[in-house]
Structure 1
Amino acid sequence: MNEADALDILRAAIWTILMACGPAVMVAMVVGLAIALIQALTQIQEMTLTFVPKIVAIMVTVAVTAPFIGGQINLFANLVFSRVQSGF
């Protein structure tokens, strides 16, 4: 394995991380923005009000996108194992 292979695996790892955590981060950002807007409009400044809806939304998102996340991780694992196998 040379430097190009290592950089290719590193690039694939970063892309896999972004694709796997992207849906949950996006949903958390949208829910957080919506709750902040509701809090600003109603002037309810309860700090714990933001946590429960975000946690529920993230859990639902992870449950719905679990096959996609598993598929992305599987593709990355296959890439790494194929590089290790062809390297020896």
Structure 2
Amino acid sequence: MDRSGLIDAVGRRTAGGGELSPEQVGRVVDALFGTVARAGAIAETLRTGGAVTLVGFGSFHQEDGAAALRPGKALNEFVNGEVGRVG
């Protein structure tokens, strides 16, 4: 999934869909993940030695000087087909 696909998917899942414009969702995606020109909140946190934890999804952190994602239990269970599809 690329950036525009992510924006479309998030837009469909927020506030019943149609509540937020693609531009608004795009600004949120960029604020979290960043752009070529500007780092997002996750990257900035990792740069300062911090971690970002999203309960159930996982944590973004540094491992041996590189960014890494440690998936959470809920994400692993969903990806492995152990729980049903949500939303």
> How would you bin the TM-score normalised by the shorter chain?
under 0.3
**Greater relative contact order (CA < 8 Å, ≥ 6 in sequence):** 1
TM-score between both structures, scaled by the size of structure 1: 0.26
By percentage of residues, which structure has more strand?
A: 2
Q: Larger C-alpha radius of gyration, 1 or 2?
A: 1
TM-score between both structures, scaled by the size of structure 2: 0.26
